[in-house]
Every structure is written in structure tokens, then in C-alpha cells.
A and B are shown apart, each in its own frame.
Chain A
Amino acid sequence: MPKVTLSHFEASFLFALFTSIVLGVVTKRTDRERVRYAVYCFAWFVGAVFGLSWLMYLGHG
């Protein structure tokens, strides 16, 4: 089994990607709605990563 070493950002990005895909698939009723919701979730995940990262950076002084 090959070993993978991901940075915090890469791991968060991949988590956001796969979770958004499944959330889009299971929550909406048409393909168009699914794609839109998956993109919406992904954008919020990535936005939260950047927001919380800045918060932690500024909190450390």
C-alpha cells in the first residue's frame, strides 16, 4: 500500500470534494440541482477552511 502524505490544505480540499459530491447526490432531486448544491457545499467547505485558517493565524498573534 503506497504511502500518501498530504498537507492540511490538500486533505481538507479532498474531504470537501468527496463530501460535497455525496451531499449533492443524496439531497437533491434533479441533476441540475445536485450539481449546484455540490458546488455550493464545496465552496462553503473551502471558504470555511480559509476563514478558520485566518482565524487561527490571527489568534496566534
Chain B
Amino acid sequence: MEDKTDNSPGRWAPAVLLAWIVPGAGHLLLKRPGRGGLIAASVVAMFLLGLMMRGALFSPMTGDLLTTVIYVGGFLGNVMSGILYFLTVWLGYSQPDMAGHVHDYGSKFLVAAGLLNVLGMVDAYEIAKGQKD
């Protein structure tokens, strides 16, 4: 049986990188516009809702284990939103951390948007490698 997978980074790296920078764009590059559009809409909607709920973006902070996991993990989750994160920081929409359940949900939405984009990146990787249609 023929092995349809191709492990060379040149085949999958552009799609994965594009999927990170612009949510859903990796799928567009791979000619899956419908799936890319759904991923983009979900990630962007979640990120914008997080911002509108005045959620805070995490800054990497180390200390005890729990602090490190929460703040470094939260920061990585934020960064995985790609251009949404960079535009937010650049344009000054980053909010200070405030008490309250709405702000707290907002912070979680911002991280969750990045994690959903990671799922989209993995999907783009599998499509580019030929493991998935």
C-alpha cells in the first residue's frame, strides 16, 4: 500500500505557520475554505467576546509551580491566537486584570480562542501531510 504521508517541513510548515498567524488561513491555503471559515469564525468570535468582556491577557510570570503553569500557559494560549493577539497588544486593547466573573470569563475566552486555533493548526498539519482529506 502506498504511503501518502510526506514528512518534509516544506510541505506542512507554510500551512501551519499561516494557520497560527491568521486563524483558518492554513485551511484556505490547503483549499479547504469551508472548514477554514468555520475555524476562523469560531476563533475570532471567541477572541472578540473575550476582549469585549474585558478579559485580561496573560504575561509570562514564574514563581511557584501553579503560578508558572497558569501565567506561562495562559500567555502561550493567548499567543496562539496569532494576529489577533499581536493586534490587541499593539493597538492597546489589552486590559488590566480585574475582579469579577465577567472579566474572568473574558480571560478564559481569550485563552480558549488560542487553544481552538491550535486545534486548527493540527488539522492543517494533518491535511498538509496527507494524513487527512
Contacts and interface: CB of A to CB of B under 8 A. Distances in A.
Interface of A: 1-6, 8, 11, 14-15, 18-19, 21-23, 25-26, 29
A5 B53 contact: yes
B102 A21 contact: no
* SS class, residues of chain A in contact with chain B: helix
Contact of A6 (B53, B112, B122): B53
B123 A29 contact: no
Nearest to B54: A3
B49 A22 contact: no
Given A5-B102, A21-B38, A26 B53 contact: no
Contact of B112 (A3, A4, A8, A15): A15
* SS class, residues of chain B in contact with chain A: helix
B15 to A, nearest CB: 14
B93 interface: yes
B105 A11 contact: yes
B116 A19 contact: yes
Interface string B36-79: 00110111011001011110000000000000000000000000
B46 A18 contact: yes
B132 interface: yes
B101 to A, nearest CB: 7
Contacts of B39: 22, 25-26
A18 B101 contact: no
